[in-house]
């Protein structure tokens, strides 16, 4: 199992790189690493950034994890997914955005348990009804083939959620995860200073 933690967002609304802002005294990227380690013991964890110049080298070095950079930068989540698939060594990958600080190990364990030979992706549905493709599992071979037809790296692709219409997808409905702690806020992300204030108020 390969896990890719996405740290390459532009953070334009937050005004600083969100991967290294702290919630409960811990950087979001470090929090994400810890959560994945607890949920998927033995998973190969890599960090996925937009480019080599996005972060000071000493910050990345201090994380002691392999770093991969977008193969076709500039297309957000599509770039990140393509890159994760390109560097994968196993049959499945887990893709996880670091700006989802409330995602728990219990949620990830629930998602991974829904994989099967008959499906190509496992994605949760949020309380607001939307799918969350940046906390999801993807079968490498099938999704790579599908992505090659949709994402060329030279023009703007459709919203990433559209990928699930082309895959054998197991949607984990919100009702299936509503029993988890803090369920209503599991997918609250950190995009703005207000979002960060809310995350900090919830703590760890």
List of domains in the chain? 2-202 (3.90.550.10)
120 φ, ψ (degrees, to nearest 5) = -115, -10
pTM greater than the 0.85 cutoff: yes
Q: What is the pLDDT of residues 102-160, one digit of tens each?
A: 999 999 999 999 999 999 999 999 999 999 999 999 999 999 999 988 887 777 788 89
Of 12 and 24, the structure prediction assigns the larger pLDDT to 24
As a dihedral over the C-alpha atoms of residue 203, residue 188, residue 163, residue 91, rounded to 10 degrees, the angle is: 10
Give the Cα separation of 173 and 1 in Å (integer): 23
**Residue partners of 48: CB distance under 8 A and separation at least 6:** 4, 5, 6, 7, 8, 67, 68, 69, 70, 80, 83, 84
> For all residues of the chain together, what is the average pLDDT?
89
Max CA pair span of the chain: 43
Residue 204 has pLDDT above 60, yes or no: no
| Mean pLDDT of the 10-25 span | 71
> Which one of 19-23, 54-58, 139-143, 159-163 scores highest in mean pLDDT?
139-143
Say if residues 74 and 33 touch (Cβ distance below 8 Å). Answer: no
Residue 196 has pLDDT above 70, yes or no: no
113 φ, ψ (degrees, to nearest 5) = -70, -15
């Amino acid at each position: 199992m390969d896990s890719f933690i996405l740290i390459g967002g532009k953070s334009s609304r937050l005004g600083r790189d969100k991967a290294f802002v702290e919630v409960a005294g811990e950087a979001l990227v470090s929090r994400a690493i810890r959560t994945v380690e607890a949920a998927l013991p033995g998973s190969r964890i890599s960090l996925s950034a937009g480019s080599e110049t996005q972060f000071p080298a000493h910050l990345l070095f201090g994380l002691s994890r392999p770093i991969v950079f977008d193969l076709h930068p500039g297309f957000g989540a599509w770039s990140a997914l393509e890159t994760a698939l390109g560097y994968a060594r196993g049959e499945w990958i887990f893709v996880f955005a670091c700006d989802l600080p409330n995602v728990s190990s219990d949620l990830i364990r629930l998602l991974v348990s829904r994989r099967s030979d008959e499906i190509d992706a496992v994605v949760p549905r949020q309380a607001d009804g939307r799918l969350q493709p940046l906390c999801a599992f993807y079968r490498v071979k099938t999704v790579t083939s599908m992505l090659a037809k949709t994402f060329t790296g030279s023009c703007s692709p459709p919203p990433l959620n559209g990928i699930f219409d082309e895959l054998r997808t197991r949607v984990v409905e919100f009702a299936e995860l509503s029993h988890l702690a803090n369920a209503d806020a599991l997918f609250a992300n950190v995009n703005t200073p207000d979002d960060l204030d809310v995350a900090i108020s919830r703590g760890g």
